[in-house]
Structure 1
Amino acid sequence: MEMSFRWYGNEDPVKLEQIKQIPGMVGIVSAIYDIPVGEVWPHEKIIELKQTIKNHGLTLNVIESVPVHEEVKMGLDSRDKWIENYKTTLRNLSKAGIKTVCYNFMPVFDWTRTQLDAPLPDGSNSLLYDEAMVQNIDPLSGELELPGWDLSYQTDDLRKIMEQYQTISNEQLMENLIYFLKEVVPVAEEENILLAIHPDDPPWPIFGLPRVITGKENVQYLLETVDSPNNGITFCSGSYGANPENNLEEIIEIAKNRIHFVHARNVKWIGKLSFQETSHSIKDGSLDMVGIIRKLHEVGFTGPIRPDHGRMIWGEEGRPGYGLYDRALGATYLNGIIDTLNNK
């Protein structure tokens, strides 16, 4: 497996020279963050990003993410224009030597948490999701803004989009995803790009919005309906694992040979549909990280894997979930499991 690390570009407080010092680190997961959603990524900007990373002895091995325009997710008549732009971006990424693209199909909001610095017993803090609190939040009020959310919408635009989604079911959202994939997967095949959809985070409806990738059944449906080796998933243990009803090893088995990217993180269940992120250790969270990595090893996964969302430890301040220290510990923990499995 290719140990990798998420990096948010030159503005990221975590620097490439620091990431390079993590034992076993080879890949960087990044994106171009100053291009409006739906617009074509210029080839020269991709090359610039790739070269910056290469200059530090690392490789840009995953793009996370190329966002999908909201009009594509909603299935509007205008979607074909945005899909054509997406195809052009995939071609430009391939021309630059990029082979894995992570994306998601979550309506309006990316991953959602209710507290970014919830304390843990050891004195560190981490991301927390409290379902009861979400039920009392108005997403139009601006009281909850999280890293990864597209905040370019004006309030009136956001209200209109939210209202439109109230008429879109989970099944319709899946149909819109299938339409998108049937258009872009042939380009991915031509360009030898692996598309890896990230699950919904958390994997259940929030704010009255539909959800499409939440567990075993819809993963299986997605892979069977668009049956191409280039159409695969990002296996995110923390997203799928937030729901205790999801059997993570079963999801890995169903998606074997179509898992193109792995996010490894642990969570602790703290109530019905509520959880807090922890260290990667099986002693701290509710997920069997050793068993998860063992299963990935058994099905032959050798692609990029990154330690996902770390705690804030040792007084570090920075982008919530994306500090240096705990993610570095996570990478080392994961490498220990991988080394053990490889040397049996």
Structure 2
Amino acid sequence: MKQTWRWFGPRDLVSIDDICQAGAQGVVSALHHIPSGAVWTPAEITKRQAEIATMKDGTASGLKWDVVESLPVSEAIKKQEGPWRDHIETYKQSLRHLAAAGIDIVCYNFMPVLDWTRTHLNWRLPNGATCMRFDLTDFVAFDRYILARPGADEGYDAGLLAQAEERFASMDDARREQLTRTVAFGLPGSVEKLTLDDLRGLLASYAGISGEQLRQNLIDFLAEVVPVAREVGIRMCCHPDDPPFELLGLPRIMSTEDDYRRIIEAVDLPENGITLCSGSLGVRAENDLPGMMKRLGHRVHFIHLRNTLRETEGLPCSFHEADHLGGDTNMVDLIEAILAEETARKAAGRSDWNIPFRPDHGHDILDDLNRQGQPGYPAIGRLKGLAELRGIMTALMARPNGKPAA
């Protein structure tokens, strides 16, 4: 398991020097300043590679850009509207440029409008640390009273609607504004900042698109770009929905094991693969993460290891980011399954046997609380998670013959 670290570029408050000191073996990054639908040029790719390769004092970091996360898929492609065919050609060109630069793993997602959604970015835990959280009642209050989405009442039961009404009434103006910014105003690393009117317009543009239609649009996209990825030696891997259930009336098509199976069978090439995110998928109790790794591991090209703790039953539900070893996913069993897949790949002579993973998200602890960096991406909190994951890996690999149990 290759230990990597997500870096948002020169503006990231966690520096390349910090990543070196954390002991990471590679970097996961993206050209966040380039909007969806635009080409990633060789010059911009080379510039980012040079930034990753160099420490503050000019010495070599020993790190390289191993995984792209993400090469964004435009809303036009997802809806098959407007310049979507041009955007697909641009996507292919970006893949060719990345391959020419020696980068061979590209993560992407197919979530409409919002890449991930939370209601709190710094929810206080009992020990004083903070984490990201999705509070279902707060979200329904946002949907119904702040966004005022037509049909917002549909899909929520009467009890939840009553709780949301009471919750909204108890919020002061500051909390309402904070909730709005958290849900609707874009993502860390993104250049696409959304206003409420922008969000309403985007939601309206998906009004006639069902889950099955969105899935077919994804299959059409993959049928175009995966052959190019195969030609140039790139492995593509789709990130799951976050959270893995319907929000704001938008379809969700990458939330379960069956969702992934349908996509990889529809475009059945090895380069059409999976980003196994234990945090996103783990929000659904039905998702057996170790089992998914055992059954679909041959198509897993990239892994996010984080943990979430469900606070309510059913779907949708409330949850928060837990300690890496403290949530609903059995991380020991999952890492054991990953190591078993790597052993099988190595025995089969696969060159991609060493699967890159990164410690995803983390609690803000210690000096993280003063840095106020990218939500979910603190320096010390992620280092704590990486250290815990390393401990599991080391213990499992210390078994006889250095192999995990079958």
Length-normalised TM-score, structure 1: 0.95
AA of the residue aligned to 1:20: C
Q: CA deviation at 1:108?
A: 0.3
Cα distance between partner residues in 2 of 1:176 and 1:238: 26
**1:13 equivalenced with 2:13 (yes/no):** yes
Shift of 1:159: 2.6
Counterpart of 2:403? none
**Which stretches in structure 1 are left out of the alignment for 5+ residues?**
none
Tell me if the contact between 1:279 and 1:326 (Cα under 8 Å) persists in the aligned partners.
Answer: no
CA contact (8 A) 2:33 2:191 kept: no
Aligned residues: 341
1:261-276 correspondence to structure 2 within 5 Å = 261-272=302-313, 273-276=317-320
What pairs up with 1:74-113 in 2 under 5 angstroms?
A: 74-76=79-81, 78-113=83-118
Q: How does 1:123-272 map to 2 (within 5 A)?
A: 123-138=128-143, 140=147, 142-143=180-181, 144=183, 145-148=185-188, 151-152=192-193, 156-272=197-313
**Equivalent in the alignment of 1:59:** 64
Q: Give the one of 349, 357, 360 matched to 1:308.
A: 360
Q: Is the 8 A contact 2:7 2:14 kept in 1?
A: yes
Q: Give the letter aligned to residue 94 of structure 1.
A: A
Q: CA deviation at 1:147?
A: 2.8
2:21 alignment partner, SS class: coil
**1:176 Cα deviation from its structure 2 partner:** 0.3
Match of 1:116 in 2: 121
1:153-212 Cα offsets, whole Å, 9 max, x none, are: 565554332112122111111000000000000100001000010000000000111111
Amino acid at match of 1:309: H
2:37 maps to 38
Per-residue displacement from partner, 1:247-304 (whole Å, max 9, x unpaired)? 11222123221100000001111113111102212xx322211111111111226211
Q: Which letter maps to 2:322?
A: T
Change (3 A) 1:153 1:121: closer
1:337 is displaced (CA, Å) by 1.4
Matching residue of 1:27:
26
Provide the residue aligned with 1:343 in structure 2: 398
Which SS does the other structure have where 2:273 is aligned? Answer: strand
Checking the alignment, whether the CA contact within 8 Å between 2:186 and 2:194 is kept in structure 1 is no
CA contact (8 A) 1:120 1:126 kept: yes
Distance, in Å, in 2 between the alignment partners of 1:202 and 1:154 is: 21
2:176 aligned partner:
none
Give SS of 2:311's match: strand
- Rounded to whole Å, the distance in 1 between the matches of 2:309 and 2:199 is 32
Deviates more, 1:69-78 or 1:177-186: 69-78
The secondary structure found in structure 2 opposite 1:21 is helix
Q: Using the alignment, how far apart are the partners of 1:157 and 1:320 within structure 2?
A: 22
Give the equivalent residue in structure 2 for 1:286.
Answer: 328
Q: Which has the larger radius of gyration?
A: 2
Q: How far apart are residue 245 of structure 1 and its match?
A: 1.7
Q: Alignment RMSD, CA only? A: 1.7
Return 248-257 or 205-214, whichever deviates more.
Answer: 248-257
Task: For 1:210 and 1:62, locate their aligned partners in 2 and report how far apart those are by CA, in whole Å.
Answer: 27
Equivalent residue, structure 2, for 1:295: 337
Amino acid at match of 2:42: H
Contact 1:135 1:207 survives alignment (8 Å): no
Structure 2 regions of 5+ residues with no counterpart? 55-60, 149-179, 343-352, 400-406
Q: Distance in 2 between matches of 1:335 and 1:160?
A: 45
What do residues 62-112 of structure 1 show as CA deviations (whole Å, max 9, x unaligned)? 010010010110122531110000000000000110000000000000111
Question: Is 1:47 the counterpart of 2:46 in the alignment?
Answer: yes
* Counterpart Cα distance in 2 of 1:167 and 1:136: 25
Structure 1 residue 306, shift from structure 2 partner:
0.2
Aligned to 1:333: 388
- TM-score of the pair, normalised by structure 2: 0.81
Contact 1:16 1:53 in 2 (8 A): yes
Q: How far has the Cα of 1:146 moved from its partner?
A: 4.9
